[in-house]
Chain A
């Protein structure tokens, strides 16, 4: 039912997608500021070049964002899944760390 040409098309589409994504990732440029939004409202804008720790206390809980040597990560949070804490450090324009339970978005600009 599935023919060779079908498999070729599937592989081609997947390969092209991976290649395009990889290229886009490679050409991403370093950011300079970090925007933190809570509940879709801008909470604060911070420079990527100053090391600091930002404590966020919201109705839903607590998050701690750390800026260190041009990179940003979520040091700790009391959300239920801790996906944001496990996220790798971000530094390129457009990179985000999202804490969905607390509606916190950390984005590099």
Chain B
């Protein structure tokens, strides 16, 4: 029991720091396409991975912890609000999407990325008190589909590699 607990702490500690490093890498090397708000979403690899390996609750907790920690270290209160709303919606949507067995991590990740942008824009609309931000949404969703496919493919590879390494 004690051994299980320490294993868990170590595992989630590694996962959380990995998610934070992904966020940091993206902060260091911005993947800029000219439209503000478009990101690769590297940290979403962790959200999808944990969702598949450890389930909805773990993924949600890791994602919220990651957003809060990264936001406190590198961001500000607004970036925390936007990311939190996007992150929570994204993991919830992915958990629902995963229930549809025909989907692979690619489809789940695309749904997650789309939900993330919708959540973020909705939060921005409330904070800035304007609906004009929704004009961004089509561009964000198209980019989310592209980055979602890339993230989903990477996660598929990672899941199978971890399986063959028995982790």
**A contact residues vs B (CB 8 Å cutoff):** 1-6, 8-10, 13-14, 17-18, 20-21, 94
Ranked 5 nearest A-B pairs via Cβ: A6-B107, A5-B102, A9-B107, A6-B106, A21-B138
From B110, B138, B156, contact of A9 by CB (8 A):
B110
CA distance A10 to B22 in the complex (A): 25
Q: Which residue from chain B places its CB closest to the CB of A11 in the assembled complex?
A: B145
Instruction: Return chain B residues, CB-CB under 8 Å to A18.
Output: 138
B interface vs A, CB < 8 Å? 97, 100, 102-104, 106-107, 110-111, 114, 132, 135, 137-138, 141-142, 145, 149, 152-153, 156
Which residues of chain B are within 8 angstroms of A9 by Cβ–Cβ distance? 97, 103, 107, 110-111
Known interface pairs A1-B153, A5-B100, A94-B132. Does A17 touch B106 (Cβ–Cβ under 8 Å)? no
**Measured between alpha carbons, how far is A2 from B104 in the docked complex, in Å?**
7
A26 → chain B, closest Cβ, in Å? 14
Q: How far apart sit A8 and B107, CA to CA, in the bound complex (Å)?
A: 9
20 additional A-B residue pairs with CB within 8 Å, beyond A6-B106, A9-B110, A13-B114:
A1-B106, A2-B106, A3-B106, A3-B107, A4-B102, A5-B103, A5-B104, A5-B107, A6-B110, A8-B107, A9-B111, A10-B110, A10-B145, A10-B149, A13-B110, A13-B141, A14-B141, A17-B138, A17-B141, A18-B138
Distance of B37 from chain A, by nearest CB (Å) = 16
**How distant is the Cα of A10 from the Cα of B97 in the complex, in angstroms?**
13
In the bound assembly, the distance between CA atoms of A20 and B142 in angstroms comes to 13
Q: Check A10 against B107 for contact (C-beta < 8 Å).
A: yes
- Specify which chain B residues have a CB less than 8 angstroms from the CB of A13 in the assembled complex: 110-111, 114, 141, 145
Query: Within the complex, what minimum Cβ distance (angstroms) separates A28 from chain B?
Result: 11
CB-CB under 8 A from B104, the residues of chain A are 1-3, 5-6
Q: Which chain A positions have C-beta within 8 A of B97? A: 9
CA distance A20 to B138 in the complex (A): 9
In the complex, A16→B35 CA distance in Å? 21
